[in-house]
């Protein structure tokens, strides 16, 4: 049975080392003020993760590690946002991969809201919001998210 990689805490967030000796850095940034400024009872974090090497290899434990971390945050009451990195023009692939991870590792209590495609400086951005339905209502979060997404995008993308 597969298990997540061991997360190590550091000053910038977390890291984990894969069996292929690729170091992943996972960062969590508080986005409550930028995304839910008018709704401070909502705790929001943005998650990003990058490998230290640009090496394409399939490793199911990477997905398991990130998904396990996100699940723990959701159960703790956080709303988690994820925006796909665009620097290498592989953001659409990342979006599809992230959707597949969500379908595979989610449970009946977790929901995902996707923003419309955001066009900013000739790039298309994909941003998703994840939450635990035992703590937040879909209709409320969707309304707040769609209302705040342009402001959030200008904060996140600059």
Q: What are the DSSP calls for 41-109, one per residue?
A: TSEEEEEEEEESS------HHHHHHHHHHHHHHHHTTEEEEEE---TTS-HHHHHHHHHHHHHHH--TT
Strands 123-125 and 127-132: unpaired
The CATH code of the domain that includes 31 is: 3.40.630
Backbone φ, ψ for residue 131 (5° rounding): -155, 165
CA 66, chain centre distance (Å)? 9
Considering its fold, how many domains does the chain have in total?
1
Each of the 158 residues of the chain gets a pLDDT tens digit; together they read 899 999 999 888 899 999 999 999 999 998 888 777 777 688 999 898 888 887 667 899 999 999 999 999 999 999 998 887 666 777 778 888 888 989 998 889 999 998 866 776 777 778 889 999 999 989 888 888 877 776 666 655 55
pLDDT value at residue 153: 61
- Let me know if residue 2 belongs to a domain: no
Angstrom distance (rounded) from CA 18 to CA 60 = 10
Question: Which range of residues forms the domain containing residue 87?
Answer: 8-157
pLDDT value at residue 41: 81
- Let me know if residue 1 belongs to a domain: no
Angstrom distance (rounded) from CA 83 to CA 69 = 16
CA 59-90-67 angle, 5° bins: 40
Q: Which pTM does this prediction carry?
A: 0.85
Q: How far separated are the first and last CA of the chain, in Å rounded?
A: 41
- Let me know if residue 96 belongs to a domain: yes
């Amino acid at each position: 049975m597969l298990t997540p990689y061991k997360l190590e805490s550091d000053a910038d967030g977390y890291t984990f080392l894969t069996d292929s000796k690729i170091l992943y850095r996972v960062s969590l940034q508080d986005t409550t003020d930028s995304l839910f400024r008018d709704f401070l009872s909502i705790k929001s974090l943005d998650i990003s993760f990058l490998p230290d090497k640009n090496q394409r290899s399939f490793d199911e434990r990477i997905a398991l590690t990130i998904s396990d971390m996100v699940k723990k945050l959701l159960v703790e009451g956080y709303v988690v946002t994820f925006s796909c990195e665009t620097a290498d023009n592989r953001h659409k692939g990342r979006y599809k991969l992230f959707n597949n991870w969500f379908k595979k590792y989610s449970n009946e209590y977790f929901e995902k809201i996707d923003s419309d495609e955001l066009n900013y400086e000739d790039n298309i951005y994909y941003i998703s919001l994840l939450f635990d339905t035992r703590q937040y209502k879909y209709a409320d979060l969707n309304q707040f998210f769609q209302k705040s997404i342009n402001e959030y995008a200008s904060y996140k993308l600059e």
